[in-house]
């Protein structure tokens, strides 16, 4: 009988551990089961990425459709190259889509926003988004504003 | 009839030391089969060490310990565990497993070493417990037993596999006279009825003299005398006499080695 | 000169102890495991090591999560970004506090008990007695305890983290009035399963291994007297705390730093 209680409590303990892990996975890290693993890779070149970091989200009309996995320097064109993983079920991005680096709020995190173009062909794995818009850098903006004032 | 016609354990030229201190140097001991042999000597002479050497828990520096022509120090780990199945050992404290009941303690060696069905194990355990008079205590936990009872349970456990050799480490120490008498009788009775070889390590002279067939007296890292109880009583050596009669002073001095007494006292006053 | 010799001897002693502990580790775990015989023993040990540590883990997890919520809020509210409190609570718990604090509590609660239990078995000759019965105490006594600690710590750390996060949520959402949608959304955006949760669990596994190793070795190697056992128990808590904290730095540097 004593052994029986022991076994049941150990079973409950291990179950609690697994439940906690599932909680951590779903509730805390927002891992969703549906499209995990099923993604394709798209690249984009930017003049300036501002404060974009790996793991930033990629959105379309504000809906998260993927994430940035890597940022490196394109040594041919001497610009930043951003690698993105787009969820597999978002397979309707036309090849003339544009990507821009946006900021959530004034000081918030950077993310990539994608807006779809009009072409019939869609982006596949390994393709580049050609139409890109770099991050707004506050210093440049201030500089431009001052320059305009002076030139007027 | 000669006791040593049939020797089960033959220890030859055994040397062992702990750090700088020699415990044994070139000791020869023969243990006759089916008899009760006692190893006696003052405390701290390493009598328990001898049992551990026989059991292979310690390795000697040199010399051999032959159990039926198998040299214990040279056995592999696997063979060592195999030969230990032929030995039962009764530890000074009893060493019962505190997380098991009396029944489970005695059943433990059977469960580990045999594939007997449960009802057979139950029968054997109850028989062994009956032999030590504690069948009624089989559901108790070790913490509920008195010291003497714990030692008897440990004895039942030691003999549960019907070993060839049973070793007793200080079985009489710290027992009241009744428990002591019970143990003395048990050891003699079990030895006769089960026919195993018993080795008793002890410094309780009267009890041991009463049951031993042969006695080895150990002091200063070697055997100082051996013989049957009658022979030992006749030995004239002052060292043996001091031990056998429990004299407070003699070759084993009462005082720990120290400088001159008066010098020591005067120094403190200055 | 004497001091130098003393230092050398102390170093050699430590080295020898490390060698002995590695031998114990090897013999109890790697050489011939016997899963069938061990299973009931393992269940028993998971009960003693894991289930009985649950209360202290849950209570401390809850309070640490609540404190993090409160502290995070008072700091972040100055920058107008109190919405990020969920992210702060979750990240600090999952990456650092859950594995480290769980390991420290585990060393105090279960590690010391393991050392004392094994030390007492040694002092009462139960280990020798097992050997004489022909059972290897390393496999019978040490191995199940070792595996139990190894299995339990990650489970306890996961429970600690989840309880702590809900403790933080209670404080932030119900008491401080943060909008619960942004609390969870911020958290889910910033916590990555592979990067944060899995790394935290790896830490917990490493700590579980080290703490039980130290506890089991100190018990098995202690001087079999009441004094020796109490010393060994103290050593277990001190050594495992030091090991956990220093290993945590190394692991963090490898996992999250750009080394």
* A37 band by pLDDT with thresholds 50, 70 and 90: low
Tell me what the mean pLDDT of segment B169-191 comes to.
Answer: 82
How confident is the model at residue B268, as a pLDDT? 62
In this complex, does chain B touch chain A, defined as having at least 3 beta-carbon pairs under 8 Å apart? Answer: no
**Best interface-test mutation with C: which of A2, A19, A20, A109 has the largest number of C CBs within 10 A?**
A20
Q: Has this prediction a pTM greater than 0.80?
A: no
Which 8-state DSSP code applies to residue C251?
H
What is the spatial distance between Cα A72 and Cα A68, in angstroms, rounded to a whole number?
A: 11
Question: Does C34 touch chain B if contact means CB atoms closer than 8 Å?
Answer: no
Q: Which domain holds residue C235?
A: 2-255
Average pLDDT of C83-87? 83
Stronger pLDDT, C106 or B239, i.e. the higher one: C106
Residue B270 in contact with partner chain C when CB distance is under 8 A: no
Q: Closest-CA residue in chain C for A64?
A: C189
Chain C positions in Cβ-Cβ contact with residue B84 (cut-off 8 Å):
131-134
Which residues does chain C have within 8 Å of residue A27's beta carbon, measured at their own beta carbons? 165, 184, 188
Residue C100 pLDDT: 95
Instruction: State the Cα–Cα distance between residues A6 and B69, nearest whole angstrom.
Output: 48
Mean pLDDT lowest for which of A132-141, B135-144, C73-82? Answer: A132-141
Least confident segment among A5-19, B39-53, B140-154, C102-116: B39-53
The ipTM (two decimal places) reads 0.78
Rounded average pLDDT over C110-127: 90
Percent of chain B past pLDDT 70, that is, above it, reads 94
Instruction: Return the pLDDT at C239.
Output: 94
Where residue A130 falls (left for φ over 0; alpha for ψ -120 to 50; beta otherwise) is alpha
- List the one residue out of C46, C123, C89, C39 whose CA is nearest residue C191: C89
Could you tell me the two tokens for C92?
């600090």
Residue C51 reports pLDDT greater than 60: yes
Average pLDDT for B66-80: 82
pLDDT score recorded for residue B30: 85
Cα–Cα dist A116/A113, whole Å: 10
Mean pLDDT value across residues B172-179: 78
What lies within 8 Å, CB to CB, of C256 at 6+ separation is: C95, C199
Q: Using CB atoms, which residue from A3, A7, A29 is nearest to C197?
A: A29
How does residue A34 score in pLDDT terms, banded at 50, 70 and 90? Answer: very low
- Residue among B87, B92, B97 minimizing CB distance to C132: B87
Which of C257, C253, C258, C252 shows the shortest CA–CA distance to C97?
C252
pLDDT > 80? residue A77: yes
Binding partners of A (≥3 Cβ pairs within 8 A): C
Of C107-116, C132-141, C219-228, the one with minimum mean pLDDT is C132-141
Whole-number mean pLDDT of chain B? 81
- Starting at the edge strand that comes first in sequence, how are the strands of the sheet with B165-169 ordered? B87-90, B165-169, B197-202, B36-40, B214-219, B222-227
Q: Between A13, A20, A57, which is nearest C50 by CB? A: A13
Residue in this structure with the two tokens 């927002």, named with its chain if needed: A30
- Which has more pLDDT, B188 or B270? B188
Mean pLDDT of chain A: 81
Chain-centre distance of CA B90, in angstroms? 7
Q: Do B109 and C134 touch (CB under 8 A)?
A: yes
pLDDT digits 0-9 by tens, C190-240:
787 878 888 899 999 999 999 999 999 999 888 888 899 999 999 999 999
Q: pLDDT tens digit string along A87-122? A: 888 888 888 888 888 877 666 678 888 888 888 888
- % of chain B residues with pLDDT over 90: 0
Mean pLDDT, to the nearest integer, of B39-54? 80
Query: What is the mean pLDDT of the segment spanning C119-147?
Result: 85
DSSP code of B256?
P
Res. B182: pLDDT tops 70: yes
Counted domains in chain C: 1
Question: Cβ distance B155 to B91 under 8 Å?
Answer: no
CB C48 within 8 A of CB C148: yes
Chains A and C touch (3+ CB pairs under 8 A): yes
Instruction: Over range B237-263, report the average pLDDT.
Output: 74
Which chains sit next to C, with 3 or more Cβ pairs under 8 A?
Answer: A, B
């Amino acid at each position: 009988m004593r052994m029986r209680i022991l076994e049941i409590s150990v079973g409950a303990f291990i179950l609690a551990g697994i439940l906690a892990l599932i909680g951590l996975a779903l509730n805390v890290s927002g891992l969703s089961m549906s499209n995990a693993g099923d993604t394709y890779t798209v690249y984009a070149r930017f003049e300036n990425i501002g404060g974009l970091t790996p793991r930033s989200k990629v959105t379309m009309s504000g809906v998260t459709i993927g994430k940035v996995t890597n940022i490196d320097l394109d040594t041919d064109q001497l610009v930043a190259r951003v690698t993105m993983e787009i969820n597999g079920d978002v397979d309707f991005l036309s090849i003339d889509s544009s990507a821009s680096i946006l900021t959530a709020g004034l000081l918030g995190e950077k993310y990539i926003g994608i807006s779809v173009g009009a072409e019939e062909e869609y982006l596949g794995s390994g393709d580049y988004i050609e139409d890109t818009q770099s991050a707004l850098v506050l210093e440049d903006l201030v500089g431009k504003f001052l320059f305009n004032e002076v030139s007027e | 009839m000669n006791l040593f016609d049939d020797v089960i354990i033959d220890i030859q030229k055994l040397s062992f030391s702990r750090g700088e201190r020699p415990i044994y140097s070139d000791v020869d001991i023969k243990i006759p089969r089916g008899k009760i042999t006692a190893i006696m000597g003052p405390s701290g002479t390493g009598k328990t060490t001898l049992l551990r050497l026989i059991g292979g828990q310690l390795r000697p520096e040199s010399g051999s310990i032959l159990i039926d022509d198998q040299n214990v120090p040279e056995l592999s780990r696997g063979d060592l565990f195999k030969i230990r199945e032929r030995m039962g050992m009764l530890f000074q404290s009893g060493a019962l497993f505190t997380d098991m009941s009396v029944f489970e303690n005695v059943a433990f060696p059977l469960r580990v070493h045999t594939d007997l069905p449960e009802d057979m194990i139950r029968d054997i355990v109850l028989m062994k417990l009956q032999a030590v008079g504690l069948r009624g205590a089989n559901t108790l936990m070790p913490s509920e037993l008195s010291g003497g009872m714990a030692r008897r349970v440990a004895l039942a456990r030691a003999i549960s596999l019907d070993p060839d050799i049973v070793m007793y480490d200080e079985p009489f120490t710290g027992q009241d006279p009744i428990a002591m008498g019970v143990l003395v009788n048990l050891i003699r009775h079990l030895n006769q009825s089960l026919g195993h070889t018993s080795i008793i390590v002890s410094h309780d002279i009267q009890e041991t003299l009463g049951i031993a067939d042969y006695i080895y007296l150990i002091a200063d890292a070697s055997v100082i005398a051996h013989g049957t109880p009658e022979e030992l009583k006749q030995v004239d050596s002052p060292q043996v006499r001091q031990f056998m009669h429990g004299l407070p002073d003699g070759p084993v001095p009462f005082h720990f080695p120290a400088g001159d007494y008066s010098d020591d006292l005067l120094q403190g006053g200055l | 000169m004497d001091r130098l010799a003393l230092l050398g001897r102390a170093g050699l002693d430590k080295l020898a102890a490390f060698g002995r502990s590695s031998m114990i580790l090897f013999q109890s775990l790697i050489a011939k495991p016997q899963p069938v015989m061990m299973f009931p023993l393992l269940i028993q040990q998971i009960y003693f090591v894991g289930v009985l540590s649950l209360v202290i883990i849950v209570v401390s997890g809850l309070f640490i999560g609540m404190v993090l919520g409160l502290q995070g809020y008072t700091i972040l509210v100055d920058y107008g970004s109190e919405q990020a409190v969920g992210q702060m609570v979750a990240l600090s718990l999952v990456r650092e506090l859950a594995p480290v604090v769980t390991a420290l509590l585990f060393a105090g609660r279960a590690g010391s008990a393991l050392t004392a239990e094994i030390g007492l078995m040694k002092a009462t000759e139960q280990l020798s007695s097992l050997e004489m019965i022909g059972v290897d105490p390393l496999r019978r006594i040490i191995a199940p305890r070792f595996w139990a600690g190894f299995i339990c710590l990650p489970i306890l750390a996961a429970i600690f983290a989840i309880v702590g996060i809900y403790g933080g949520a209670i404080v932030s959402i119900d008491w401080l009035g943060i909008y619960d949608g942004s609390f969870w959304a911020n958290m889910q955006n910033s916590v990555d399963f592979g990067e944060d949760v899995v790394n935290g669990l790896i830490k917990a596994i490493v700590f579980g291994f080290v703490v039980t190793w130290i506890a089991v070795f100190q018990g098995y190697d202690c001087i079999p007297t009441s004094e020796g056992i109490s010393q060994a128990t103290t050593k277990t808590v001190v050594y495992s705390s030091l090991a956990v904290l220093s290993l945590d730095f190394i692991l963090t540097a490898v996992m999250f730093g750009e080394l």
